[in-house]
Amino acid sequence: MGFDLSGIKKYLGRGLVLIAVAVIILGLSQRAEAGYTLIDSPNWEIVIDDSGYSDNLVDNRPGFEGRDYLSGEWGGAVGYTVGGSPATTPKWLTPLFEGPTWTTNSNFGLISATAAIGTNLDGFNIYQSTIGNADLEIEVTSQVVDTGTGMAIGTDPASSGGAGSSLNSDQYVFKQTYGITNISGEDITDLKFYQLLVGDNATSSLYDDRDYGGTLGSYQFDTTVNGESYDWNNATGEWYVHDDALTLHTDTAPTGYESGEYIDSGDMTKPAAGVHISVEAGSLNGVDDFTLVDPDSRAGGAQEHTLANLAPGATEIHDVLISINSVDDILPWRPGDSFLDPIMPDEMTLEGDVWLFWFGAPDGEMTFIDPDIAIGYDYYHGDPFNLDFDPLDDDPYIPYNPDQNFQSVLLPDLGDGFYDLYLFDTATDSWVFEAILKAGEEYNFGAGGVDRFRILGIEEYLGIYPTDPTAFVTGLTLVTPGTIAVTMQAITNPVPEPSTYLLLGSGLAGLIVWRKRRNKG
């Protein structure tokens, strides 16, 4: 029985890299008028559009670079009344949400793109952009703030009573300031600002309004989303569980709040239900404690703030902050850490029977990978972010990580138990026979390892079937510990070099792992 990732695959980068790339490409094409700006701190980085919206807040700590916190939504909206006209229902500031991708009801356009206008007292750049519609001009100012020791994150629902409890955030927090100016020529009343927060792996959400003091203590009105995620440490290959809290802070009491869900069906359309619908209706429900039930949803939260009425030309200022708290624990096991308990393939295949996976390889531990059908296989490690990558046609061939060559290989006991090993000769651009390998005996490639090799000699009568998830379990060690993306091309009879590839990457299917430590001394 294999290790089935279906229960935790939502935590593994929230889907396949190719899907993520497709979403990014789609998003960029739809929002040609909106630019993106990367704002980074030593511990995390965030990408915002010109309206202040973000779908990309990622870890920047060594070993966890690129791990996504947000990949849900961080976006603002406004509602108001102009003169004697009917009330304008809340409109999103951004024209496009991502994750899933859908066009919003925004009627705001770009006036000036995001640009650095100076540095703050902590030495971080201050960025500013301006958007507007017929009634409002909104200046968006974004910056990293160094709190020194972190700020309090409320962790008890406001309705629970008592003194409550809190966590301490990361040292660096993200601050956005919205300067909202009336350009309508008439009085604007009932001006309301909404902020939505959805966590990538969040399974719970709460609102806490207690004053826990400390740095930035006035920003005590907290909406926090919390959840767990799993991944490999890119530097060591060890398997981690992360308990992440992501918090929206404001320094004025909201006139409305909601903790709830954000349903992500994965079909690239607007979620039919969730906190975002309440924002658009201007009717947050006052729920301050929510735990996710639907596995296709994410937990989210929102706040509504009623701002001052605006005379023509007047401006109102509103601040929002994001803080992060992450607890990282090494797990005593990792997916596929037993020969008898392999990771089973995810149900998703890509065009051309391509599968995408990553896996971690701790120092000295053997990792087994299991592909499709074959009388042989070619093994490479290539760039999984290059959708056009072809190890046979790419010239020159560029490994994904040249410091992580294959150090050794261990093959399964099938048929007569003997296999032919070929190495690639770059001088002649061809495969050259190297050795006969015996099943169950580890073969070491020598100093520096190799970036590719070919195995032949699988007997045809074995009838290894393409959909068999345990067809050809291969053990690999790497020259250095870490993560690696591997392509494994099945060689079938009679076609010597078919177009079936298996891309192995960060811990989704088709691999099993067996722990094999090096002898000490």
pLDDT at 426: 86
Residues whose CB is less than 8 angstroms from the CB of residue 87 and which lie 6 or more positions away in sequence, other chains included: 79, 80, 81, 190
- Residue 433 neighbours by CB distance under 10 Å: 11
Pick the CATH number of 31-330 from 3.30.390, 1.10.3210, 3.30.40, 2.70.98: 2.70.98
CA dihedral (162, 167, 172, 176) in degrees, to 10, reads -40
Question: CA-CA distances (angstroms) from residue 483 to 20, 71, 231, 478?
Answer: 19, 22, 10, 9
Residues whose CB is less than 8 angstroms from the CB of residue 381 and which lie 6 or more positions away in sequence, other chains included: 399, 400, 401, 404, 405, 406, 451, 452, 484, 485, 486, 487
- Three-class DSSP category at 180: strand
304 with 221: CB under 8 angstroms? no
> What count of residues does the chain have?
521
- Residue 486 neighbours by CB distance under 10 Å: 28
d(CA 164, CA 22): 43
d(CA 375, CA 460): 6
Residues whose CB is less than 8 angstroms from the CB of residue 367 and which lie 6 or more positions away in sequence, other chains included: 336, 359, 360, 361, 475, 476, 477, 478, 511, 513, 514
pLDDT at 513: 32
- Three-class DSSP category at 279: helix
Residues whose CB is less than 8 angstroms from the CB of residue 149 and which lie 6 or more positions away in sequence, other chains included: 168, 171, 214, 215
Structure tokens at 477: 């060690």
Structure tokens at 96: 């496009």
pLDDT at 268: 74
262 with 72: CB under 8 angstroms? yes
Nearest to 76 by CA among 95, 101, 63, 57: 95
Mean pLDDT by 10 residues, the chain (521 residues): 34 30 32 72 97 95 89 92 94 92 95 97 98 98 98 98 97 99 98 96 96 98 95 81 96 98 78 94 98 87 98 98 95 63 46 45 61 69 52 48 80 91 91 94 93 87 59 83 72 43 33 30 28
pLDDT at 347: 41
Nearest to 409 by CA among 372, 383, 440: 440
Query: Considering the entire predicted model, what is its pTM?
Result: 0.71
What ranges do the domains of the chain cover? 31-330, 359-514
Q: Find out whether the peptide bond into 342 is cis, omega within 30 degrees of 0.
A: no
d(CA 155, CA 342): 38
